[in-house]
Chain A
């Protein structure tokens, strides 16, 4: 199916563990993004990518790592999860600077 998919939908992990959130889009959009959403903070940009092998930091990149070896995939890794990273994570893609974003359904991550 065409679209943007995130996995897993829900994840519980322990403090200090590494966890990877997956994002896959089928449109060959150049741009991809990771946001987190917390009560009281709204949506905040973590990382974004303009093309394969090109990534850049957003507002809150600390504690996260991204890679983009293929245009369609943009995984987000928490190298050593902390409780403050408990959040809902949204991935998005866009065809270019003028176009709108399409968001995934989100991953709800709980760090215990």
Chain B
């Protein structure tokens, strides 16, 4: 699996966009980028994933750079309930479907 680097923590004002970066400079051509989050004491929650193109769903947008060496998860209008640990994971689809979680980014949304 490609290694990912995320900031340890970030703050965001309520109602503003939260932009969470992830560096994956050693990513291979067939590796997908996945984002999950974990709100305190709950199970992790799938947010979004992508391969090359930018993706958007009801929760967030995923922007992947053209060289695929980094990506940004965007929460367009952060709320206090978005305070969580956010995990960026890269993995090839044939990797036994296993996900290996790193330390993630603690996002604190403040009023």
| Residues of chain A at the chain B interface (Cβ within 8 Å) | 31, 33, 35, 42-45, 48, 50, 56, 58-59, 90, 92, 94, 96-98, 100-106
Q: B residues near A, CB below 8 A?
A: 32, 34, 36, 41-46, 49, 93-104
Q: Would A100 and B97 count as touching, CB distance under 8 A? A: no
Closest 5 interchain pairs by CB? A103-B43, A100-B46, A97-B93, A43-B101, A97-B97
Known A103-B43, A106-B43; judge A97-B99 contact (CB<8 A). no
CB distance from B73 to the nearest CB of A (A): 14
Instruction: Provide 14 A-B residue pairs closer than 8 Å at the C-beta atoms, listed in order of the A residue.
Output: A33-B98, A43-B44, A45-B100, A56-B96, A58-B98, A90-B43, A94-B97, A97-B93, A97-B94, A98-B32, A101-B36, A101-B46, A104-B43, A105-B42
Knowing A100-B34, A101-B99 touch, does A106 contact B93 (C-beta < 8 A)? no
What is the CB-to-nearest-CB distance from B38 to chain A, in angstroms, rounded to a whole number? 8
B50 CB → nearest A CB, Å: 11
B35 shortest CB reach to chain A, Å: 9
Tell me the bound Cα distance from A33 to B99 in angstroms: 10
Closest Cβ of chain B to A35, distance in Å, is 8
